[in-house]
Amino acid sequence: MCGIVGYVGWREAETVIVAGLKRMEYRGYDSAGIAVVTADGVVSRKKAGKLVNLETELVEHPLASSHQGIGHTRWATHGGPTDENAHPHLGRTGRVALVHNGIIENFAQLRAELVADGVEFASDTDSEAVAHLLEREVLDGHGLTEAMRRTVGRLEGSFTLVAIDAQCPDTVVAARRSSPLVVGVGDKEMFLASDVASFIEHTREAIELGQDQIVEITPDSVAVTTFDAEEAPVRPYHIDWDLSAAEKGGYDWFMRKEIFEQPKAVSDTLLGRIGADRLLVLDEMRIDVAHLRSIDSIIVVACGTAYHAGLIAKYAIEHWTRIPVEVELASEFRYRDPIVTSRTLVVTISQSGETADTLMAVRHAREQRAKVVSICNTNGATIPRESDAVIYTHAGPEIGVASTKGFTTQLIACYLLGLYLAQIRDAKFGDEIASLVRELEALPAKMDEVLDDLGTTLALARDLMDCSVVLFLGRHVGYPVALEGALKLKEISYMHAEGFAAGELKHGPIALVEEGLPVFIVVPPRGRDQLHDKVVSNIQEVRARGARTIVLAERDDAEAERFADVFLPLPTVPTLFQPVLAILPLQEFACEVATLKGHDVDQPRNLAKSVTVE
């Protein structure tokens, strides 16, 4: 997820664009850049690192005056955070400049075509390929808007593009597919942005762009058409948010925003990794297939929420590949003198890619000659840089300290890794893998169903906000969900919350149960041996002792609902994928309780987003 700005009007473009990027720096902050049209053509400046680096560059190398330009603050997906990979990207003649938010799935094919055409790439990004394609259309005599239309017809994946042409004065053109883009309508000036935060100080009149639409703005006009050159309805609206809310997309917290971003984050994490026959395509797995076929054990190493994702990965990877999987807390791993050989595959999971405990585990594993695959959400972070291979999640920057979309996209990456290993080791037939991949592809829509039905969860938060203890129970992959639900509640509401394996309750923890004690129970889908029935028995055990049971189960699971004081229904998915849905109400519950208690949900006490000390 990146931040994009476009401007045309009477103000100095550089001033408007840099200020707009500042308002969106939370969307991505590993590099930034600007391009404007001046009397000498398109001029651009771009720098890796925080936006302040670009500002310094602009002081040292100022741009000539301009009233037309584009800007970008990046969250790297293809290509690390370097000056060269920063946006904007220019065509090879420098006539056209472009910024991009999203993932071009057919990037490799387009790049090969352009290289064969004699184009020399200055960066590793998918976005630069689009800049070259667009300029080629302009040089063929098409106006910028028509050139954009012809270009997007070549692209697959998710993309929002904004471009300028040195020979097209007072005009900025954009195209939108999947990644957000909104027009700010001013007085003799127009704005384009990933979200309204970037221009809200200048105008509150906006136009939302729809899927597969192209917009051409000039100081006095906005023209919206479809990718097929048809007139598109213009939907103006008035922004009634203040600036702070605008930066959170209208949500009260970044955490809440990120909870609701999860379906798209999961879609983006799947993008480009599923082949036409629904077999896995993990280009980034830079580990020799023969070596992966030879591994005889896997150790997953992580901390906190990422560790809970690892616990779920164990069930999936062992079931699909029959390779033994251990899951270790990174802070414990290297001190227990682990058995690691060259046939061990160590998988680390880290949203930030900077967690010191996990980084030390990577170094220890590599000293033991094991190959290390990292699952990470931060392109170019230390942990992926020190690993043999990386599977990036594409959740976009996660600002809230309590991890939400980081967790669900880690699960997706773990599932992809497990299925990929099963595929290359012939542990599962292609049709079995394809069937599971179809279930993965169906998850975002089912996540939306859950997120559209959180009324009961919000009411429950009001009921339970003053409780001193809350328990969470689950079995099989529901057990790590119970642990994660407890962690979410602990870390932002500061209430005592604990997750248990449901089968473990009778071995001690059931002594905690007393009248009115709230107990969340995650019930697995039916059909997996006695798993379901055993958990229903656990519900009865705690209910018989006075607990208030909050049951998460399949929508039509009447047996589980029978013993629920509060029932939170879930769409049906395969057992191993249920955590992606079951965690959603628990995230929102924690967020709402903490909000009602008046806590700073995004920056809870004593915590940091990335723990870079051991």
- Please identify every residue annotated as catalytic: 2, 609
Contacts of 220 (CB under 8 A, 6+ apart): 188
User: Binding ligand AGP by CB under 6 A: which of 303, 389, 419, 440?
Assistant: 303
**Shortest distance in whole angstroms from residue 355 CB to ligand AGP:** 3
> Which region, judged by CB under 6 A, interacts with ligand AGP, from 110-118, 170-178, 186-194, 397-405?
397-405
Q: Are the C-beta atoms of 471 and 514 separated by less than 8 Å?
A: no
**Shortest distance in whole angstroms from residue 236 CB to ligand AGP:** 39
d(CA 207, CA 517): 49
Q: How buried is 515 (Cβ within 10 angstroms: 0-12 exposed, 13-18 middle, 19+ buried)?
A: exposed
Site track 165-204 with ligand AGP (rule: CB under 6 A), x = hit: ----------------------------------------
Contacts of 383 (CB under 8 A, 6+ apart): 348, 350, 353, 354, 355, 358, 359, 362, 374, 376
Dihedral pair phi/psi, residue 563, rounded to 5°: -105, 20
> Which region, judged by CB under 6 A, interacts with ligand AGP, from 51-59, 103-111, 297-305, 423-431?
297-305
Q: Measured from the CB atom, is 51 or 601 closer to ligand AGP?
A: 601
Q: Measured from the CB atom, is 108 or 607 closer to ligand AGP?
A: 607
> Which region, judged by CB under 6 A, interacts with ligand AGP, from 51-59, 225-233, 367-375, 399-407?
399-407
User: Binding ligand AGP by CB under 6 A: which of 305, 379, 393, 549?
Assistant: 305
Q: Are the C-beta atoms of 312 and 414 separated by less than 8 Å?
A: yes
Could you say whether residue 151 binds ligand AGP (CB under 6 A)? no
Residue sitting closest to ligand AGP (CB): 304
**Shortest distance in whole angstroms from residue 491 CB to ligand AGP:** 6
d(CA 41, CA 34): 14
**Shortest distance in whole angstroms from residue 382 CB to ligand AGP:** 11
User: Binding ligand AGP by CB under 6 A: which of 217, 306, 412, 586?
Assistant: 306
Angle between helices 430-451 and 262-270 (to 10 degrees): 160
Could you say whether residue 387 binds ligand AGP (CB under 6 A)? no
Could you say whether residue 413 binds ligand AGP (CB under 6 A)? no
Buried b or exposed e, range 410-446, using 16+ CB within 10 angstroms? bbbbbbbbbbbbbbbbebbeeeebbebbeebeebbeb
d(CA 164, CA 190): 14
Name the strands in the sheet holding 157-165, side by side, starting at the edge strand that comes first in the sequence: 89-90, 96-104, 157-165, 172-177, 213-218, 221-226
> Which region, judged by CB under 6 A, interacts with ligand AGP, from 1-9, 208-216, 401-409, 580-588?
401-409
Name the strands in the sheet holding 496-501, side by side, starting at the edge strand that comes first in the sequence: 496-501, 469-474, 518-522, 548-554, 566-570
Q: Measured from the CB atom, is 271 or 303 closer to ligand AGP?
A: 303
Could you give the C-alpha distances from 289 to 294, 429, 604, in angstroms and in order?
9, 17, 43
Q: Measured from the CB atom, is 305 or 379 closer to ligand AGP?
A: 305
Q: Are the C-beta atoms of 175 and 193 separated by less than 8 Å?
A: no
Could you give the C-alpha distances from 503 to 319, 515, 545, 608, in angstroms and in order?
20, 21, 16, 34
Q: Measured from the CB atom, is 82 or 403 closer to ligand AGP?
A: 403
Contacts of 574 (CB under 8 A, 6+ apart): 436, 439, 525
**Shortest distance in whole angstroms from residue 430 CB to ligand AGP:** 33
**Shortest distance in whole angstroms from residue 550 CB to ligand AGP:** 21
Could you give the C-alpha distances from 559 to 506, 544, 575, in angstroms and in order?
21, 16, 17
> Which region, judged by CB under 6 A, interacts with ligand AGP, from 144-152, 194-202, 301-309, 430-438?
301-309
Q: What are the strands, taking DSSP E only, across 351-489?
A: 371-376, 389-392, 469-474
Site track 332-361 with ligand AGP (rule: CB under 6 A), x = hit: ------------------xxx--x--x---
Q: Measured from the CB atom, is 145 or 351 closer to ligand AGP?
A: 351
User: Binding ligand AGP by CB under 6 A: which of 171, 213, 374, 403?
Assistant: 403
Give the binding site for ligand AGP (CB under 6 A): 303-306, 350-352, 355, 358, 401-403, 491, 610-611
